[in-house]
Amino acid sequence: MLKKYIVKRLLYLFVVMLGVSILTFSISQLTPGDPAELLLRESGVEPTREAVEAMREHLGLNDPLVVRYGKWLWAVLQGDFGKSFRTGQPVFEEITQRFPATVELTIAGLAVMLSIALPVGILSALFKNTFMDHLSRLFALLGASLPSFWLGLLLIYYFAVKLSLLPVMGRGSLLHLILPALTLGLGMSATYARLLRASMLEVLGQDYIQAARARGLREQTVLVKNALKNALLPVVTAFGMSLGHLLGGTVIVETIFAWPGVGRFVVQAIFNRDYPVIQGYVLFMALIFVLVNLAVDISYKYFDPRIRLEGGDSK
Amino acid sequence: MLMKNGIVIKMKEGVFLKNLKRIGVCLLLLFFLLGCFYGCGTQEEAAETPADTDTDTEEEVPDIPQELIIGIGRDFYQGPESGVFVHGSTAVWESLTYLNEDMIPEPQLAEELIPNDDATEWSVTLRSGIIFHDGTPLNAEALMANIDRVTNNPSFDSYGTFLNFEGAEIAGDMEVIFKFNKPEPAFPLKANYHGFALFSPASFDEEGAITIPYGTGPFKYEDYIKDEALILTRNDDYWGEKAKLEKVTFKPIPDPSTRLAALQAGEIHVIADVGGVLPEQGVIVEGDPNLVLQSRLVTTSHYILFNGQEAPFDNVELRRAVSMAVDRSTIVNELLEGYGEPADSIFTPIARDFVVRGLFKTNPDEARELAQSVSDTPVKLVVSSALANRWPYKPVAEVLQMELGELGFDVEIEMMEAAAWMEALGNGDYHMTLTPYTFMTGDPDFVFGRWIHSEGQMNVSRGLGYSNAEADKLIEEAAIESDLNKRKELYQQLQGMMDLEVPMAPIFHDVTLYAYRKEVKDFTLDAYFTPSLVEAWMGE
C-alpha cells in the first residue's frame, strides 16, 4: 500500500517537472536582459556590438524559442542539463557541487530552530499567559521583525570581530557553521515556537488529555506521548515546506557569510540571465519539493497511525 | 493551572520543566540585551594614527609565510567562457603593452611596436626569454595562435582591438606584423590589459576556450574552489622582478560589511577592488589601529545620461541647464565622504595627454535662465539597483531630484534591476539615468567612438540618441590620425563641443578606497584597480 503510494507520487513528479520547466522557460524569456551582454560585462568592460553578437551566436540565443526549448528538453531527457552560460561547466555539476554546502547549512539551521522552538513552544503553551508566555510572544515578534541580514551582521560583529570566538565567514570547520546556523535558526524558531504553542494549546484542551491525567499518567508522559505527538502534525507540515525552501538555498545567509551554497549561485544566475542554470535549478527544486513532501506525508503515519495514505494525499 | 469545564486541573511542575523554563528565559534575555547594546560600543581605541605606509625605509622580508589573502566583492574567476579565464588583477596573464600612471602605453610583452607611415601596419617585436607558465616560450608562433584565437572568437575582443584587423604575418622568430584596413594609431593603447591578453597555445582548446590559463605573469593559476577562493602561486621563472609573496588568495565576499569584518578579524589581509571599501566604511577603517586606509583616483567616471531622442532632453539648453544645476562638490563631499573628484572633464584627468579640464561648470543662475520654459515637466530618472549597490546612486538621484525640482522638473526616481535597466535604456524608456564608465584604454576614441558618435554602440544601446554630424566627422578623423599633436587637437575640439552639447554630463571621477592590515607592506592599487602583488609582502 505504502509502496503503491510512493510510486504514484513519483510518477506525478514527471508531470510537475515538465510543467515547471515550460513555465520557467517562458517566464525567463519574457524577462528583460540579454545574457550575452551581461556575461561579457562581468569583467567590467563594456563589450563591442560585434562581441555581443558573437556571444549570442555562441550561446544559441538566436534560435527560435521553441527550438531552444525543444533542444534543451531533449538533452535533459538524456541526462544533460546543459552548460552554464557564465562558467561553461555542466549545470548538473555546478548545482550538485554546491548542494552539500546548502544541505550542511540547512541541517544546522533546522537543528538550531528545533532546539529553540520546541522548548519555547511547549513551555509557552504550558504556562499560558504567564511571564514565560509573554516573553515567547516578544521573541516571536522580534523573530518576525528582525531581518536575517541584520541578525547575521550582529552575530559577526560580536562573536567574530569583538570577541574573536568564531570565524566571520566561509565554510570549513564546525566553527564556521555556528553563526550562519544561528542566523538561520533563530529567525525561524520564533515562527515555529508560536505555531507549536497554538497547536499544543489545542491539543491540551482535548478530552483525551484530561482522561490521560485522570488515569494517573505522569505529566511528562501526558505531554510527550499524548499531547506533543499530536501537536506536532501541523509543525511537521510547515517543517517540510521550510526544508524544501532551505534546500533551495538561503541566499541572504549565504551572502552575509560568503557561504558557497546553491542559493547565492542561483541568484547570480538569475541576475546574469544564465538560462541553463535557472532551468536546471527549477527542475532540481521541483524534485526536492516533491521528495520532501512525500517524506512529510509518510511521516504522518508515525505521528498518527489513523492517517491513511491514499491517492497521492494523506487523509 | 488549567481549568476545564469548571474543574481545576492542578498540574505538577516537574524539575525538568522548571529548568527548561529558566534556560528559555535566560536565552531570550541574553539576545535581547545583545540587541540593545549593539552599536553602542565605539570602535577599538584609535589611540595611534595609522602606521606608516612603510615605503620609506628598506625592510627585509621576514622568514614567515608570504601568503596574502585579498577580499573582493566579486569573483575573479571568470572561466572558459570569458576571454581571459581569470581577471587581470590576478597578475596571471599579461598583454603586449600596459598603461603607466599617465595612461601612456609602455611595452610589456612586446619590446617594440612600430607603425608604418599611416599606422595601417604595426610591427610587434616580442621580448625574448619569456616563457609561459607551462614552460613554452613566448614567440611569434605563440602570438599568432593568440591572434587566431581572438579573431575566431570576436566575443574575446573586449576593447575592439581587432575590429579593423585584416591579418597578421610572422616576420621573424619574435616579430609579427599586424595589418589593419584602417589606420590604427591607438593600437598600443588598445593592446593593453584586457585588450589583448596572451596565453600559451596549450591553454586553449580548438574553439579557443581556455582550459588552464598559462600566462606569463608573476603569478600562476593554482586552484579555484567554487565561490570560495582563487589561489595563485608565485611564478619563479617570471621574466621581470620576482614577487616576494609566495601565494595569493582572492576570496569573493559579496557583502561589504562582512568584508570589513573579515579584515578586522584578520581572516583577510586586504580589501582591494572596485567598491571594495564603501565611503561610509572609511571612518571605521581609520578608527581601527590594526588597519590602514588608502584611496586612489581611478579611471572610472560617473555620468548623467540623457535620452536625447525625446523631450525634454532633446533640447540641448535643458541638458546644459541640468549639468549646470548639479552641485558636484556637494555630491562628492556629502555623499561620498570626500572620496571622489568633482568632474570638470568628460573623462578621467589621469589621461593627461588628452584631457581638457575646466568644463561642465556648476552655475545655478545660468541653469535657471536656460530652464525658464520648464514648469512641472515630468522626468523619469531610472537607476540600476546593481550599480546602486556599488555606488551611492540612490542618494545622488535624490540630490538631483531636489536640484532639478528647483528648475521646474518633476523628477520621479525609479529603481530597476540591472537587466531591466539596460533594456529600458535600449528602448529609450527613460529621460535620465546614472552610469559609470571606465576609461580602459587611454584612447579617447574609447569614449567618443562609443558614446558620442551617432552610431557608437553605447550611444545606441543606452538610448542617448545623440547625433551631431560635425562631432561624427571629428571622431572619425581623430580615430585614424597618426600625428599625436593633431589627434590631441581634434579631441580638444570634441571635448569643448561636449561641454556645450552635453549628451552626457559627468558628475564625479571615482576615488576608490582600499584597506589592508598593518602587517601588509608595500601594497598599493593602481588607477586600473590592479594590486601591486609583485611589490607587496607580509611583515610581522
- Give A256's contacts in chain B (Cβ within 8 Å): 255, 257-258
Task: Give percent above pLDDT 90 in chain B.
Answer: 81
pLDDT score at A34: 86
Q: Which of A255, A109, A139, A135 is nearest to B35 (CA)?
A: A139
Q: Who among A31, A142, A170 is closest to B228 (CB)? A: A170
Computed on alpha carbons and rounded to an integer, the radius of gyration of chain B in Å comes to: 28
pLDDT interval class at B42 (50, 70, 90) = very low
Within 8 A by CB and 6+ apart from A64, the residues are none
- Give A204's contacts in chain B (Cβ within 8 Å): 2
Task: Report the residue of chain B nearest A42, measured CA to CA.
Answer: B78
Q: Is the dihedral of CA B125, B127, B129, B134 positive or negative?
A: negative
Average pLDDT over residues B174-186: 96
A142/B25 CB distance under 8 A: no
- Give A88's contacts in chain B (Cβ within 8 Å): 79-81, 209
- Give B159's contacts in chain A (Cβ within 8 Å): 45, 48
pLDDT interval class at B48 (50, 70, 90) = very low
pLDDT at B240 over 90: yes
Task: Report the residue of chain B nearest A274, measured CA to CA.
Answer: B419
The answer to whether B212 and B223 have CB atoms below 8 angstroms apart is no
A88/B80 CB distance under 8 A: yes
Mean model confidence pLDDT for chain B: 90
Instruction: Give one word for B275, left, alpha or beta, with left for phi > 0 and alpha for psi -120 to 50.
Output: left
pLDDT score at A298: 80
Neighbours of B437 (CB within 10 A): 22
Task: Report the residue of chain B nearest A140, measured CA to CA.
Answer: B28
Neighbours of B52 (CB within 10 A): 10
A43/B158 CB distance under 8 A: yes
pLDDT interval class at A140 (50, 70, 90) = confident
Q: Who among A54, A157, A219 is closest to B153 (CB)? A: A54
Report pLDDT digits (tens) over A95-108: 999 999 999 999 99
pLDDT at A295 over 90: no
Q: Who among B11, B25, B423 is closest to A33 (CB)? A: B423
- Give A87's contacts in chain B (Cβ within 8 Å): 79-81
Q: Which three cell numbers, joined as nine digits, stand for A237?
A: 507540515
- Give B12's contacts in chain A (Cβ within 8 Å): 219
A119/B23 CB distance under 8 A: yes
B261/A168 CB distance under 8 A: yes
Within 8 A by CB and 6+ apart from B402, the residues are none
Average pLDDT over residues B330-337: 94
Task: Report the residue of chain B nearest A55, measured CA to CA.
Answer: B155
Task: Report the residue of chain A nearest B36, measured CA to CA.
Answer: A154
CA distance A131 to chain B (A): 9
Report pLDDT digits (tens) over A191-247: 899 888 888 888 888 888 888 888 888 877 777 777 787 888 888 888 888 888 788
Furthest-apart CA atoms within chain B: distance in Å: 109
Report pLDDT digits (tens) over A7-59: 887 777 788 888 888 888 888 878 888 888 888 877 666 788 888 888 888 88
pLDDT interval class at A310 (50, 70, 90) = low
Average pLDDT over residues B423-428: 93
Task: Report the residue of chain A nearest B8, measured CA to CA.
Answer: A210
The answer to whether B99 and B157 have CB atoms below 8 angstroms apart is no
CA distance A136 to chain B (A): 8
- Cell 608595500 found at: B522
A46/B267 CB distance under 8 A: no
Cα–Cα distance measured from residue B527 to residue A53, given in angstroms and rounded to the nearest whole number? 30
Neighbours of A108 (CB within 10 A): 18
Instruction: Give one word for B243, left, alpha or beta, with left for phi > 0 and alpha for psi -120 to 50.
Output: beta
CA distance B367 to chain A (A): 32
Cα–Cα distance measured from residue B458 to residue A48, given in angstroms and rounded to the nearest whole number? 9
CA distance A273 to chain B (A): 8
CA distance A132 to chain B (A): 7
Which of residues B432 and A29 earns the better pLDDT score?
B432
pLDDT score at B49: 36
Pairing label, strands B110-115, B121-126: antiparallel
pLDDT score at B18: 59
- Give A146's contacts in chain B (Cβ within 8 Å): 35
Strand partners, A83: A90
pLDDT at A112 over 90: yes
B82/A43 CB distance under 8 A: yes
Task: Report the residue of chain A nearest B451, measured CA to CA.
Answer: A46
Average pLDDT over residues B406-419: 95
b/e burial code for range B294-304 (CB count within 10 A of at least 16 → b): bbbbbbbbbbb
CA distance B142 to chain A (A): 23
The H or E element containing residue B78 is: strand B77-79
CA distance A70 to chain B (A): 24
A256/B225 CB distance under 8 A: no
- Give A90's contacts in chain B (Cβ within 8 Å): none
Cα–Cα distance measured from residue A28 to residue A202, given in angstroms and rounded to the nearest whole number? 45
CA distance A76 to chain B (A): 22
Report pLDDT digits (tens) over A153-162: 999 999 999 9
Instruction: Give one word for A297, left, alpha or beta, with left for phi > 0 and alpha for psi -120 to 50.
Output: alpha
pLDDT at B109 over 70: yes
Cα–Cα distance measured from residue B409 to residue B297, given in angstroms and rounded to the nearest whole number? 33
* B215: exposed, middle or buried (Cβ count in 10 Å: 0-12, 13-18, 19+): buried
pLDDT interval class at B435 (50, 70, 90) = very high
Average pLDDT over residues B509-522: 97
Computed on alpha carbons and rounded to an integer, the radius of gyration of chain A in Å comes to: 24
- Give B160's contacts in chain A (Cβ within 8 Å): 48, 50-51
Instruction: Please write down the HEC assignment for all residues of B509-525.
Output: EEEEEEEEECCEECCCE
Cα–Cα distance measured from residue B133 to residue B136, given in angstroms and rounded to the nearest whole number? 7
Cα–Cα distance measured from residue B327 to residue B334, given in angstroms and rounded to the nearest whole number? 11
pLDDT score at B23: 60
Across the A:B interface, residue pairs with CB atoms under 8 Å apart total: 194
Cα–Cα distance measured from residue B237 to residue A211, given in angstroms and rounded to the nearest whole number? 85
Cα–Cα distance measured from residue B233 to residue B140, given in angstroms and rounded to the nearest whole number? 27
Q: Who among A42, A50, A120 is closest to B82 (CB)? A: A42
pLDDT at B233 over 90: yes
Q: What angle do CA B438, B451, A271 make, to 5 degrees?
A: 60
CA distance A22 to chain B (A): 22
CA distance A283 to chain B (A): 22
Which of residues B295 and B82 earns the better pLDDT score?
B295
Cα–Cα distance measured from residue A297 to residue B34, given in angstroms and rounded to the nearest whole number? 40
Q: Who among A54, A146, A255 is closest to B255 (CB)? A: A255
Which of residues B134 and B50 earns the better pLDDT score?
B134
Q: Which of A37, A57, A34 is nearest to A46 (CA)?
A: A37
